[in-house]
Amino acid sequence: MPIDATQAYDDNNIFARILRGDLPSNPVYDDEYAFAFHDINPQAPLHILVIPKGRYVSWDDFSAKANDAEIAGFIRAVGHVARENNLVEPGYRLLANIGQHGGQEVPHLHVHLFGGQFMGPMLARA
Ligand code: AMP
């Protein structure tokens, strides 16, 4: 069920629990601002999620309320993870789902990195 991108942050959401170490994950990167791990249900040969360490529900919440260091740290971490996983050449897809129409399921900001094959059309055709 997609979430509301403007809802209050839920400290018991699944990614908050992963960040606290209450739930296991398959990590690929960790720093002061971001944590990256393999998606549990991969949609491509390589499917990594990158999340900020801060309590942000969505891209909307993060872009409005995060401070400059958090934003820079998160964006740099996304690029670093892509480079470290050899995604830059031949390329990859970066995606963030936001709210109901975006189909966002987990109420902690995350970006998806998809790679390892040609990703096809940008959106599924009806
Ligand atoms: P979204 O629809 O953008 O909110 O995507 C949520 C993503 O989180 C989906 O691709 C799920 O497969 C992934 N996911 C859900 N639970 C876990 C988990 N425990 N570990 C890793 N990925 C997860």
Residue 124 binned pLDDT confidence (cut-offs 50, 70, 90): confident
Mean pLDDT of 88-99: 97
Instruction: Report the residue among 3, 14, 94 best suited for mutation to probe ligand 1: largest number of ligand atoms under 8 A from its CB.
Output: 14
| Residue with tokens 């949609």, as numbered in its chain | 43
Domain definitions of the chain by residue range: 14-115
In a 10 Å sphere around its CB, with 0-12 CB exposed, 13-18 middle and 19+ buried, how is residue 37 labelled?
Answer: buried
**CATH number of this structure's domain 14-115, picked from the four choices 3.30.200.20, 3.20.20.70, 3.90.550.10, 3.30.428.10:** 3.30.428.10
Looking at residue 126, its pLDDT comes to 67
DSSP string, 21-83: TSS---EEEE-SSEEEEE-SS-SSSEEEEEEESS--SSHHHHHHHS-HHHHHHHHHHHHHHHH
110 catalytic? Reply is yes
- Give tens-digit pLDDT for 29-86: 999 999 999 999 999 999 999 999 999 999 999 999 999 999 999 999 999 999 999 9
Separation of CA 93 and ligand 1 centre (Å)? 16
Provide the whole-model pTM. Answer: 0.98
Looking at residue 13, its pLDDT comes to 98
How confident is the prediction for the chain on average, in pLDDT? 97
